[in-house]
Structure formats: structure tokens, C-alpha cells
A and B are shown apart, each in its own frame.
Chain A
Amino acid sequence: MKIELSNYSKVIKRRTVLDHVNCIFYSGNIYGLYGRNGSGKTMLLRAISGLIYGTHGKVVIDGKVLHKDISFPKSMGVIIENTNLLPNYDAYTNLKILSNIKKIASDNDINDALSSVGLDPSNKKKVRTYSLGMRQRLSIAQALFEDPNLLLLDEPTNALDESSVEIVRNLLLKKKEQGTLIIIASHNKEDLNILADQIIKVVDGKVILS
């Protein structure tokens, strides 16, 4: 998989949130987007995921122009800010409902994804009773359980304790070895130093490759 952003800009309410971004991402790599709050990291993830339309430029995914040839990347798992799962259902049911849309993940895939992040698939507790860390782990399971080719993760280790951070890091490294393209936005430099093959600094909507 290859994702290319060419001269991509996004202006929202006269404010340039992404400014002539040019970068290429290849599968089998982990890319880290690093920058302070409001620098444009999440907006860059939204641009790649197809959630926003660019003001200028384009995103090309495997030769197909986003919003022209395709509406969204075909196989993608996301964790992005302002998302949450259904609070009145347990973890398994939440993923089961989502799995009914594409119908590519089996019950085993759901169970495996939940177990891999340290959640018990048979636990019938409703998500609204979960701690922040458990919700975050469920979000990660949600992004992973359909085994997508592209993972866009916004602050994936937020609210996780040390052991959970370790579990998630290992999971992501395993996915990378399987050829998944992973883009992580984080302000946690330690995470990115351990995980990322390339760290991309985002400053005021501009991308600085390192």
C-alpha cells in the first residue's frame, strides 16, 4: 500500500490547518506524527482517512485519488478523537455490531482482538462502566479486529497503564511485520521513538520530515 499526499492544504474558517503537505507512506512501516496540541496531527489523519475534503491538493491511495476514485481507503482501522463506542453494550456486542457492516470478521476475530488488548470477550459489563484505559483498549481492538491494511491511530496509548502500553506497542509492531501501514499521531515522544520507522513533525499545519 502506498499513500501519497501532494500539496495538500486544508483551510477551516479562514485558518490553515494543513499547509501544502507533501509526504508518502508505505505499507510495512510505522510513521509517527509528532507535534504539540493543535499542530494539525489529527487533521492529517482525518485527511488520509477521507473524513475531510482538502482545500487544495490531493491524497492518492494505491493510485486512486481520494474523494474522486474512492470515498475512503478500502481497508482501514481508525482511532480518532471524538469517537466512542456504544455505552450501553458490552465490548463484544460493540464489535459484533460493527462487524455486521463489512461482514469480514468472524466471532473468533472479535474474541482474538479483545483478548489481544487484555479485555475479556465474555465480560458482559457495559462500556459505560469501563475505565478510560479499558475504553482505550476497546478502541484499539475496534481498529484492529478486521485486520485492516491501514491503521490510523490518534494518541493510541492515552490513558493506558504501563503494562497496557507495552501490550499495545507489541501489537502494533506485530501488525507492522504483517505488512500493515500504521500512522500514529502522538505527543508522546517515547512511544514514537520506540515504534516509528519515521517521525514526521507537524508544526502549524506544515510537515517537517526527519
Chain B
Amino acid sequence: MDKIKQLVITFLMLIVYCYLTPKNGSITTLYGGIPVGGNLYFFLLNYFLFAIFSFFIFESTQKYINGYGIFQLVRHQSRKKIFQLLFSELIKYILIIESLKIFCYLLLNFIQRKQLPMYHLDVLVLFFGTIFCMIVFLLIQMLLEAKYSSKISLLYTQVIYILILFGSDICLKYFPNSVINYLFLNNYMMMRHYTLLNTSFLVNTLIVTLLFVLLTSTLYLTGKHIFEEKDIL
């Protein structure tokens, strides 16, 4: 499927997502995530958003290691360069979808004559949290695509995401003050979750930022290594 078609479908899915997202006149609700003890609706909504990202990134790696990518690879003369291109494409796609998401949300607020969204400082932190979270999960999908077929890697990534999504809720319920909560990445997208941990907002932000930087760097270096050692068959 070409990117224009994918973008149109993504836009329609985002409209649906934003329509289903509860609105309280604050853009924070877009990043608020699943309330503690929230029902399945919130889980499905959270997963739906990830599925949109995942769908958009589908087959990105395959494009670079098969077909047209081979013509680019022999001209760039570097596997590392191809991975860097892929990574920058990932960041670009995430920013496009996030911008579209905010646009759809504001548009729906305007059409439905809801209260105008208010800006909160938290939003900026949560916005970057969401971006990092998506980078980590989608990088996993891309790296899996370098090893397996696109469909298999899509499936594996969905399973990983869903397990972490539900795992975070269970963990918070039984081990509310444990540092293990930080390992459930999409927790960071759930403002109401991490504020329950017995640390300040600043400390939480610093810890999770550090965690994301470490994870992203590890995945980036792993990806570079996989690409450098990979046979292009």
C-alpha cells in the first residue's frame, strides 16, 4: 500500500480515535491514558492508537531491505546509513501522526462546540512521553521486520504492546509503589498512573526520561548492529 493511501486511512482512524476520546476541555485528556481501574473501553482506546501507529509503520523496514531498498543500499554504500534513514523516517512518521492526532482532536472540539482546549505544562511532558513510547515500540516492530516477515513482526509487536498494557495495570494494582512500574512503558502515557507512584512529578519525569533514552539508545544500537550484519537476500 502506498504512503498516501496509508495516510488517508490513518487520518480517518485518528478522527474515530479522537471522537471516542473523552473530552473535558483539556488537551491533557489526549495523553491522560487509562484511568486506574478504568474499564476495557480505555484499554481498547489506548491500543487503538498504537494500532494506528503500527499500521502506518508496517513494511517500512522491508522496503529498505528488499526491492527498491537494494538500489539505494548499493548507492549509499553503507548499511548503517540505511538504518539511519529508516530511523529518521520513523521519527518523521511519529511526528506526522501525533500532529494529525492533535489536529483531529482540536477540529472535533471545534465542530462539537466543546470548551476550547487548555494548555497545561503536563501536556508537553506527556507529549514527549508518548513520542518516546511510540519510538520504543515501533523500533521493536522495525527490528523484528528485519528478522521476520512484516506480518509476523506486526503480530509480535501487538502482542508485546497488549501484554505490557494490561501488565502495567495489574502491576500497579498489586505493587503500587514498586519501581517495576517504570518498566511498563506505556505507563508513561497514563498520567493518572504514574502520579500514583510515591515520587514527585519531576523525579518521575527524570526517571522515565532516562529510561526511555537508555531504551531508545539500546534499540538504536541493536538495530544498527542487525543492519550491519544482515544478509540482503
Contacts and interface: CB of A to CB of B under 8 A. Distances in A.
Interface of A: 12, 46, 49-53, 70-72, 74, 76, 78, 80, 82-88, 98, 101-102, 142, 146
B2 A51 contact: no
List the 8 closest pairs (A to B, CB-CB), nearest first: A51-B232, A101-B75, A52-B231, A72-B77, A84-B67, A83-B70, A102-B75, A88-B2
Contacts of B232: 46, 51-52
Given A71-B79, A88-B2, A98 B231 contact: no
Nearest to B230: A53
Interface of B: 2, 4, 66-68, 70-79, 229, 231-233
Given A46-B233, A53-B231, A71 B71 contact: no
B70 to A, nearest CB: 5
A53 to B, nearest CB: 6
Nearest to A76: B74
A83 B231 contact: no
29 contacts: A12-B231, A12-B233, A46-B231, A46-B232, A51-B70, A51-B74, A51-B233, A52-B231, A52-B233, A53-B229, A71-B78, A71-B79, A72-B78, A74-B77, A78-B70, A80-B70, A82-B70, A82-B233, A83-B68, A83-B71, A87-B2, A88-B2, A98-B71, A98-B75, A101-B72, A101-B75, A101-B76, A102-B75, A146-B75
Contacts of A142: 71
A112 B73 CA distance: 23
A87 B74 CA distance: 20
A142 B67 CA distance: 13
A133 B179 CA distance: 62
Contact of A84 (B4, B68, B75, B77): B68
Nearest to B232: A51
A19 B147 CA distance: 25
Contacts of A78: 70-71, 74
A39 B21 CA distance: 57
Nearest to A43: B233
Contacts of A70: 77
Nearest to B69: A83
A194 B65 CA distance: 34
A18 to B, nearest CB: 12
B72 A71 contact: no
A50 B77 CA distance: 9
Nearest to A17: B233
A71 B67 contact: no
B225 to A, nearest CB: 13
A72 B232 CA distance: 12
Nearest to A78: B74
A100 to B, nearest CB: 9
Contacts of A88: 2, 4
A12 B230 CA distance: 12
A70 B77 CA distance: 9
Given A51-B231, A52-B231, A88-B2, A83 B67 contact: yes
A85 B77 contact: no
B78 A98 contact: no
Contacts of B66: 82-83
Contacts of A50: 74
Contacts of B72: 98, 101
B68 A86 contact: yes
Nearest to A54: B231
B217 to A, nearest CB: 23
Contacts of B71: 78, 83, 85, 98, 142
